[in-house]
Amino acid sequence: MKATIYDVSRLSGVSTATVSRTFSAPEQVREDTRRRVYEAASALKYTPNAIARDMALQRTNRIAYLICKRQATILDEFYAGICEGIMRRANALNLQLIVSTADDWRQMAANAQSKQVEGVILGGDVAPAMVSEFQARNTFIVLVNNRMEGFDLPCVVSDERQGIRQAAQCLAEAGHRRIALMMGGYSPFIVGERYAGFIEAMAALRLPVTDADVTMCDRTAASAAESAMKLLSGPDRPTAVLAVSDVVAAGVMKAARRLGLSVPGELAVTGYDDSAICTLLEPELTSVHIDVRRMGETAVNLLCRGLEGEDTPRLTVIPTQLTRRGSV
């Protein structure tokens, strides 16, 4: 019986996609991986012609990116930015890419089982059942913009605590001593990291934090405006609000206008994400910039390393940078 691409994959300890890439584009494969593949192919008397035959019969070299956010679409600005990085890197590596949302994850998992998808990047607030399903089908997983307790997976995240510290430092440098945090309903990881970053930053700045200084709301501008109306209506109101997203910040600025508070004269506001909305607001919004494209590119690199049987770091942190505008 003639050896197959799957025999080479098993003997060399790498994916079938890597076996194919080793012969079709060897410059894209690490030297030690190429050596293992060549040695396995030689031992099995397997040739590139056989690889071409097998690849014609099997759909491989395909990865998927699933956006795991409630009522998400591929037009969501944050995850679309990650998608751009994923697409850019996938194209450079001659990988086929499927982009979808978590609503279609069961069908995607079925495709993975039939070898149509060899690895998947899951972005956002991923359901544990989704991860378990892909793992049961031996599909390599990389998380982006999230970490999950109980799962040993490679994760790519931005430096959430650094971003919050940068925003808090900016407000303190502008003379503010009473700074409130406006939280939105994001994943437990995002909420936990940004809250911890706020507490750490305020302690480092030697500024007090009371229970009233931390307000929860939904992730919508309407919910943020409603919560901000209550926060800013009291006699001992904060003079600055650090919002954990640009949408939440927009709601805070809307509430300030309703209360007759000038921004930044009577209330300073910072956002997070540095999205397109920042330059549409008046004054323009100071916000923490996240390098979402780099996050996407890094996720693909980790996925490829995992598919090649290489060790992958469990946590990759991408630095943030504050973009200063007129709201502080």
Asked whether the predicted pLDDT for residue 262 surpasses 60, the reply is yes
Q: What gap in Å lies between CA 34 and CA 55, rounded to an integer?
A: 18
More confident residue, 122 or 235: 122
Q: Which residue, 54, 19, 49, 50, is CA-closest to 37?
A: 19
Asked whether the predicted pLDDT for residue 135 surpasses 70, the reply is yes
CA 85, 88, 93, 98 torsion-angle sign: positive
User: Which pLDDT value is given to residue 60?
Assistant: 55
The burial class, CB within 10 Å (0-12 / 13-18 / 19+), for 217 is: buried
Whole-angstrom CA distances from 42 to 8, 48, 74, 93, 180 are 9, 11, 44, 25, 65
Whole-angstrom CA distances from 18 to 21, 97, 233 are 5, 15, 61
What structural domains does the chain harbor? 5-57 (1.10.260.40), 62-158+292-317 (3.40.50.2300), 160-290 (3.40.50.2300)
Q: What gap in Å lies between CA 256 and CA 92, rounded to an integer?
A: 47
Q: What gap in Å lies between CA 299 and CA 52, rounded to an integer?
A: 28
* pLDDT tens column, 22-72: 877 777 888 888 888 888 888 888 766 655 544 544 545 789 999 987 766
Kindly report the backbone phi and psi dihedral angles of residue 257, in degrees, each rounded to the nearest multiple of 5, phi listed first.
Answer: -60, -40
**Which residue matches tokens 């780099």?**
294
